């Protein structure tokens, strides 16, 4: 059984026991999160596709980690002008452990 969920402007395919990194969600490590934007649920031959979401479907996950991703370097340069700009960015993320999919 798996589901397609939408969170943080992205879509993810999840199954029971999966661990995935999503855009930052509010909550502490160990809290339970309920994802209600379920776009599709597949259980063997039984497939439910939402328009746009599946009614009464939800995915329950536990927050496993809150952290920052690796640094991404932003470098800009204009030739012959002496213009150089170097910045770094670390995106916040939440790691989720999927516990249950209900349709």
pLDDT in tens, 10-66: 999 999 999 999 999 999 999 999 999 999 999 999 999 999 999 999 999 999 999
Break the chain into its structural domains and give their ranges: 2-102
pLDDT bucket at 90, cuts 50 / 70 / 90: very high
Q: Give the global pTM.
A: 0.87
Residue 35: CB atoms within 10 Å = 21
- Indicate the DSSP class of residue 90: -
Rounded distance between C-alpha atoms, residue 54 and residue 69, angstroms: 31
User: pLDDT value at position 103?
Assistant: 84
């Amino acid at each position: 059984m798996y589901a397609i969920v939408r969170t943080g402007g992205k879509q993810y395919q999840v199954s029971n026991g999966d661990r995935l990194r999503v855009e930052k969600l509010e909550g502490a490590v160990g809290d339970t999160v309920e994802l209600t934007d379920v776009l599709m649920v597949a259980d063997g031959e039984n497939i439910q596709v939402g328009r746009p979401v599946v009614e009464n479907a939800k995915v329950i996950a536990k927050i496993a980690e809150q952290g920052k991703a690796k640094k991404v370097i932003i470098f800009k340069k204009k030739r012959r002008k002496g213009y150089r700009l170097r910045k770094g960015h670390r995106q916040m993320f939440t790691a989720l452990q999927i516990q249950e999919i209900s349709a």
